[in-house]
Structure 1
Amino acid sequence: MRTIRIIEHISLDGVIQAPGGPDEDRDSGFAHGGWAMRYGDPVVRTAIEAAHGEGFDLLLGRRTYDIWSGYWPHAAPGPMADSFNRAVKFVATHRPDSLSWGPVEPLGPDPAASLRAIKAKDGADIVVWGSSSLPAMLLENGLADEVVLLVYPVMLGTGKRIFTERASPSALTLLESRQGESGVVVNRYAPSAPPPAGAG
């Protein structure tokens, strides 16, 4: 059985759009790209390394795949670049013929069913980065084993979110929380049973 782990950079008001750079994702006129990059912090780096583990594969939405395929194959060799380039990329896409950064496997028309079959086999942990839609799908279908949120002390107001009014009611058990000197808080959760209904 494989573990699926969601990792997200997230603002205090729940935005996950374009943490890495100004041109990463300008959908809907988003003008705050790169908001996470000013918070360089050894606690954040250590948490990211720990969340990836010794070996991993990747689960990516199409936009993240396209952004990363333009960067990581050309990045200077190093532990992170080597790991990302070596990992199998499972990609949710309607355009499987245009996936050139491998090794890669498109998930097909039913990503949840494909991931359920992949998860049932032995293999490396699967890490999810960057998508605004995959985490909600994973949680709704009971496919996520861990959620790692790197919470930044910023309010962005607008932008893509992974937790919206369409999210299914669910509960998360806090496994670990660490705070960096920059104010970033790294919380690691395990999905648990749905929350109890209100008494009132």
Structure 2
Amino acid sequence: MRRIRIIANTSLDGVVQAPGGPDEDRDGGFAHGGWAMPHFAPAMAEAIAAAQGDRFDLLLGRRTYDTFAAFWPGVEDDPIADGLNGATKHVATHRPESLEWGPAEALGANIAARVRDLKAQDGPDLIVWGSTTLTPVLFEAGLVDELLLFVFPILLGGGKRLFSDRTTPQELTLTESRSAPTGVLINAYRASGALQPDRPDPYSKETSQ
């Protein structure tokens, strides 16, 4: 079975919209595109490379696919570019005929069902890049295994967020946390199952006895 790993850049107030450039996503009049780039550090590239591994496939929303397709094919002598360009892209789209950056295929109308089928197959892990379209669907369906979150020391006030009201209440286990010199927190999480609000407090006197 393949694992599904989400990689996302987020501000402190949870905004993930247009981290890479001013024209990446102006929906809603968003005017802060490119907010992540001044804080990028080599430690983040190392974390991305480790999360993706030597071989991986991609799960992408249409906007992310188009953004990547306009940039990564032109990047040479870069291991991240090589991995992204060579990966099979599984795309949430209503325009399957226009997936020119290949190899690529559309996920179809029932995204959760198709991703569940992909996950059950043999093959490389499936990487999701910060999609506000796919992430809520995958969490709601219980398909996410791991989350790599880059938390930037920025407040944006408004914009698209990674998690929506559709997200199923659940718990994550922090497996690694470190900071880049630019102040970005690099946090890795593993999905741990349903929310357990009635779990005993591990620091209570009763539990510790």
Whether these two folds match at TM > 0.5 is yes
Q: How many residues align?
A: 199
Query: What's the counterpart of residue 205 of structure 2?
Result: none
1:13 equivalent in alignment to 2:13: yes
Q: Which AA in structure 2 matches 1:30?
A: F
Query: What's the counterpart of residue 101 of structure 2?
Result: 101
Which stretch shows the higher mean deviation, 97-106 or 75-84?
75-84
For 2:44, what is the secondary structure of its paired residue?
Answer: helix
Q: Which AA in structure 1 matches 2:95?
A: R
For residues 110-165 of structure 1, the C-alpha deviation after alignment (integer angstroms, 9 at most, x for no partner) is 01100111110110111100311211111111111101100001000000001233
Q: Which AA in structure 1 matches 2:195?
A: P
For 1:139, what is the secondary structure of its paired residue?
Answer: helix
Which stretch shows the higher mean deviation, 188-197 or 117-126?
188-197
Query: What's the counterpart of residue 196 of structure 2?
Result: 196
For 2:38, what is the secondary structure of its paired residue?
Answer: coil
For 2:39, what is the secondary structure of its paired residue?
Answer: coil
Shift of 1:187: 0.7
Q: Which AA in structure 1 matches 2:162?
A: I
Mapped partners of 2:65, 2:29: distance in 1: 21
For 1:172, what is the secondary structure of its paired residue?
Answer: strand
- TM-score, reference length from structure 1: 0.95
Q: Which AA in structure 2 matches 1:6?
A: I
8 Å contact kept, 1:75–1:81? yes
Query: What's the counterpart of residue 207 of structure 2?
Result: none
Mapped partners of 1:174, 1:104: distance in 2: 32
Alignment of 1:57-136 (within 5 A): 57-136=57-136
For 1:38, what is the secondary structure of its paired residue?
Answer: helix
Shift of 1:182: 1.0
8 Å contact kept, 1:43–1:178? no
8 Å contact kept, 1:139–1:191? no
8 Å contact kept, 2:52–2:127? yes
Q: Structure 1: any 5+ residue segments left out of the alignment?
A: none
Shift of 1:198: 6.0
- TM-score, reference length from structure 2: 0.91
Q: Which AA in structure 2 matches 1:44?
A: M
CA RMSD of aligned residues (A): 1.3
Mapped partners of 1:181, 1:71: distance in 2: 26
